[in-house]
Every structure is written in C-alpha cells, then in structure tokens.
Structure 1
C-alpha cells in the first residue's frame, strides 16, 4: 500500500538547484567543450538557438565517455544549500518532489539518488556498450517538460490543481502557465512575469515558507494513489 499524496512540486535543475552555471557546463568542463557550450546556452537564452541545436552541440562532446565516468563526475555537481531540508519537508508533508528539467537524464538520476527527488523526463545522449556515442537519442524541450510533468501527475492520480513548480528561466514558462502556483527562484524577467511569486536567495530552504503557504491553500488530504 502506498502512502497518500497531498501534492506534487516540480523542480527545475539548472539555475534553480544547481547554484553556479549549469549541469551541462559542469560536465562540459570535464569533456573539454565548456566554451562552446556556454556560448550555445547564451544563444538559447536570447532565443537565437533552439533547445534541439544546443543539445546536439553538447551531446557531441560526450562521444567516447563511459557512463560510469559521467556518473562519477556528477557526484560533486554543486547545488544550493538547503536541498536536503526541502526534500525532507516534501516527504514529511506527503508532497512528491519531482525533477522537471531540460538537464540530461544522467543529471536528474544523479540528483534523485543523492537527495531523494523523483527523476522524470529530460533528454538522452545515445549509449552503446556503456559508452556515450555523441548523438542525441531523445530530444526534450520546454513543452515536453510541461507535458511530461502533466502526465506524471495524471499517473499518480494527483490533479494539476494540487501541483506547483519552482524554476528560473525560459524553459519553465510553459509549466508555470499550467500549474496554479509557480515560484520564480533567482529568475529571469520572463520567468518572473509568468510565475505567481518570485524570490532571490542563496539557500533553497528559503522556499519552504512559500511551499507551506501553497500546501495550506489546497485543503483536504489530496490523492491516495501511488
């Protein structure tokens, strides 16, 4: 028998949980294509490159790396302080903390393993025999991020009215637009405009009062499905 679920909070990764740069930049530094990726991400932010184009530039740099090596590099991916406290708050209050992100799937799997998030969605680099092949096996954009989040909530039997999202940038806006409560954290102007509330902080635990207000506004026990 699974425990009841009162709600779901969807967390972005890069710029939200990851405190400096992005998870892709963290890996690209080790792969050796950090400068090219940083330029591509700047151009994505200003709208001159698509997510698909950035993913293809980044994935090419993974060619020849083993999956075990990448997993090891992700063990020290820097995140904001307070992540453990926020996940613990979610678990204590029967709220599912789900990663909804354009970060590569090894990144979200690593964060889920380290902190107790649910990893769901994200793009994939192809793997052959335990080695990355440098091609994008699955593209994933901001609309896939929104749609995958909605499908996850449906599968858990949690109405979208009992979901919220925390993020910082352009890729969060489609999800912000469909959940009833969204928090822009250290965010761009566009993300702030799409969110219900915005805060700036160097400690993720500062989102807890907002989460408490959101949860209190829901009333009722929520879903009993698992």
Structure 2
C-alpha cells in the first residue's frame, strides 16, 4: 500500500515564508513583515493580505522569483526526502497558502508529486476563490487520498502553524515541525531542528505504527 506525505511550506520545509523572500528580493522586506504581523493579529484577512502584496510585486519578474527561490533557506535533506518518497512508489504533496508559482518551483526542482497554493500573480487582480484558507487543506488532502486510492491512515502531515490546525485535526499521523504550541498540542509527534530527514523518519515511524 502506498502512502501520502503532506508538507506545509512556510516555516515547515522553508525557514521564513515565500512571500517574505519575494519581497526581500525587491528590497521591501520591512513592508511585508508589517503586513504579515497585521495578518497574524487578524487585522488583515487572507484576500486583503494578497491585495497588499500584489502592490509590492508590481515589478516582480520571473528572474526575481527564481532568485528569491534560490536564496531561500530550505530545511536540510529536502531533495533526499522527496527522492526517497518517489523511490518507494509513494506520493508527496505541498499544500501551502503561499503563491502557487513559488510552490511550482519545488515540483520542478525536487519532484514533489503535486503542489497546491494560492493562484495569485503579480500585476493581476486577486480573486477570492484563488486564495487558500486553512480549511482548504483537509479538503485538498481528502481529494488526493481519493485520487490515489488511499485512506486517512495512509497519510502523514507535516506543519508548523495555525494554518495547519484544520489538517492536523483531520489526520491521525502528524508531525509538528518547529511549531507553535497550538499545533504541538494536536500533533502525534513533534520536531525541533533543521533536518527534514529527521522529520521524515518520525513521519515514517508513525505510518509504520512504531512511533
């Protein structure tokens, strides 16, 4: 029987956030930090968050996106983990509230099976239906499990923050990675550190029933 490994991106396999790295590339890091803090306080909703970012991203080019991706700090061992999943005939999914165009680079570079993010673009209006919400994560995972003919017992999720709460409430197997206290309380296991291979070993032990 195959398995499905579901990864959040920001704060889980990526230190920081994709939006922060994109704005850093444009020299607008301080501004995006203010926006993210306002979002964290509930002063800006998910759609409003992207509407503010789109204004900052007006000069963003494909080269800027690639440069931001290259400069990002990914957890150690990410390529090896995704390669091992493929070699076992299993599936990986990146489910993130960050932009789809950034998540797609993880597919292209390291071969995650599928990526799901917000379909927003620079210089284009933000469509509310294109923005992902935390509640979308378990829906997406259920759709993937149906597609692959798997059950919830065949799935493990890896996340770090409040956006992963609905998914962790749905999953039996979950690993909180450098996570906040709320997510740790929901997780089957937790990890603090910078090596995704160690995180993945915990996830495998949960799937194997030895964790």
Q: 1:39 aligns with which of 31, 34, 40?
A: 34
What is residue 203 of structure 1 aligned with on the other side? Answer: 195
1:35-58: CA deviation from partner (whole Å, max 9, x where unpaired): 221122123334343222222211
What is residue 224 of structure 1 aligned with on the other side? Answer: none
- Compute the RMSD of aligned alpha carbons: 2.0
What is residue 217 of structure 1 aligned with on the other side? Answer: 209
Q: 1:70 aligns with which of 34, 53, 65?
A: 65
What is residue 192 of structure 1 aligned with on the other side? Answer: 184
Gaps of 5+ in 2: none
1:176 and 1:212 map into 2 onto residues whose CA distance is: 16
Q: Does 1:28 align with 2:18?
A: no
Q: 1:9 aligns with which of 5, 9, 22?
A: 5
Q: 2:171 aligns with which of 174, 179, 195?
A: 179
State the TM-score, normalizing by the size of structure 1.
0.83
Identify which range, 87-96 or 199-208, moves more after superposition. 87-96
Name whichever structure is richer in helix by fraction: 2
Structure with larger RCO (C-alpha < 8 A, sep 6+): 1
- Report the Cα offset of residue 161 of structure 1: 2.2
Q: 1:25 to 1:62 in 2, by over 3 A?
A: same
Contact 2:153–2:207, Cα closer than 8 Å, also in 1: no
What is residue 101 of structure 2 aligned with on the other side? Answer: 106
- Report the Cα offset of residue 178 of structure 1: 0.7
State the TM-score, normalizing by the size of structure 2.
0.89
Q: 1:58 aligns with which of 50, 53, 62?
A: 53
2:83 and 2:202 map into 1 onto residues whose CA distance is: 15
Q: 1:136 aligns with which of 109, 126, 139?
A: 126
2:152 and 2:182 map into 1 onto residues whose CA distance is: 22
1:70 and 1:168 map into 2 onto residues whose CA distance is: 24
- Report the Cα offset of residue 73 of structure 1: 3.4
1:180-220: CA deviation from partner (whole Å, max 9, x where unpaired): 111100001111112111110111111132122123139xx
Q: 2:141 aligns with which of 127, 149, 169?
A: 149
- Report the Cα offset of residue 77 of structure 1: 2.5
Q: 1:120 aligns with which of 115, 126, 133?
A: 115
- Report the Cα offset of residue 84 of structure 1: 1.6
1:40 and 1:150 map into 2 onto residues whose CA distance is: 31
- In the comparison of the two structures, how many residue pairs are matched? 208
1:68 and 1:80 map into 2 onto residues whose CA distance is: 23
